[in-house]
């Protein structure tokens, strides 16, 4: 098979449990790039939560942020953007506040990250993980015509399913997906990693039959269903492993490197 592009999720996939890129994975990325095969990071994170990874490990690549709402080339030029209005985002936040959901909300617009309370331990933890800083405030920080890429809800794991259901009932026009046992991602309708894969491949005239992707959680499902060669990480939920039999090693055991080496796309170290 003549594979032409590789997509990879970040948390639980590209990064190990200590939020590091392992040596074999970094070698695999550079090997792909030497062959002229784009390695594309695709994540629910904002660009400011992705670029520090590239800077730390010394590589550049295209980035798909907010689970598909924003696509940038390796030089940070915007290729595609599909957010929702500030007014709609304001209504979502108001609904969360009125219902006193056990969660901490985050608003993302391009590289602006707004939170209600910077001292919330969940926000502090996220800042440390993504190496980016939030701004305490309200949606009024954004201009009237601002494009909101995502609202992220950091939830109590015991409440997340109830919060997800109520948000979906109230805002059926939005795409709402659980990306972990504590995280809910809220995007514009039609925004999925799978659709972003299709969008970028169409722009670059790459056939979907020549695509590979690595993911580890429910917000990766559409992407894994879209590409020709989906790799599910070994640390993924068991339910997903029954749906995607092509399971590679976990993110602490060079899952990306081993998957690509297994199909002969990169040399074995």
Catalytic residue list: 9
CA distance readout (Å), 113 to 106, 109, 148, 150, 209: 7, 7, 10, 10, 36
Q: Which of 213, 135, 151 is nearest to 183 (CA)?
A: 151
Contact 40, 63 (CB under 8 A): yes
Q: DSSP for 95-149?
A: HHHHTT-SEEEEEEETTEEEES-TTSHHHHHHHHHHT---EES-GGGS-TTPEE-
Contact 219, 177 (CB under 8 A): yes
């Amino acid at each position: 098979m003549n594979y032409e592009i590789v997509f990879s999720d970040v948390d639980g996939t590209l990064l190990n449990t200590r939020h590091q890129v392992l040596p074999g994975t970094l070698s695999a990325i550079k090997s792909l790039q030497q062959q002229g095969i784009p390695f594309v990071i695709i994540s629910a994170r904002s660009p400011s939560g992705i670029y520090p990874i590239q800077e730390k490990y010394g590589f550049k690549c295209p980035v798909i942020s907010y689970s598909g709402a924003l696509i940038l080339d390796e030089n940070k030029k915007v290729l595609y953007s599909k957010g929702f209005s500030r007014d709609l985002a304001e209504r979502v936040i108001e609904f969360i506040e009125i219902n006193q959901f056990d969660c901490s909300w985050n608003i993302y617009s391009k590289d602006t990250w707004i939170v209600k309370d910077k001292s919330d331990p969940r926000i502090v933890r996220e800042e440390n993980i993504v190496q980016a800083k939030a701004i305490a405030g309200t949606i009024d920080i954004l201009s009237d015509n601002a494009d909101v890429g995502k609202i992220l809800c950091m939830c109590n794991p015991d409440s997340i399913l109830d919060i997800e259901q109520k948000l979906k009932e109230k805002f059926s026009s939005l795409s709402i997906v659980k990306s972990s046992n504590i995280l809910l991602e809220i995007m514009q309708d039609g925004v999925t990693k799978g659709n972003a894969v299709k969008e970028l491949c169409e722009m670059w005239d790459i056939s979907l039959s020549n695509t590979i992707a690595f993911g580890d959680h429910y917000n990766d499902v559409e992407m894994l269903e879209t590409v020709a060669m989906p790799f599910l990480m070994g640390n993924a939920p068991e339910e997903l492993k029954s749906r995607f039999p092509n399971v590679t090693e976990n993110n602490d055991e060079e899952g990306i490197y081993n998957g690509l080496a297994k199909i002969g796309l990169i040399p074995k170290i």
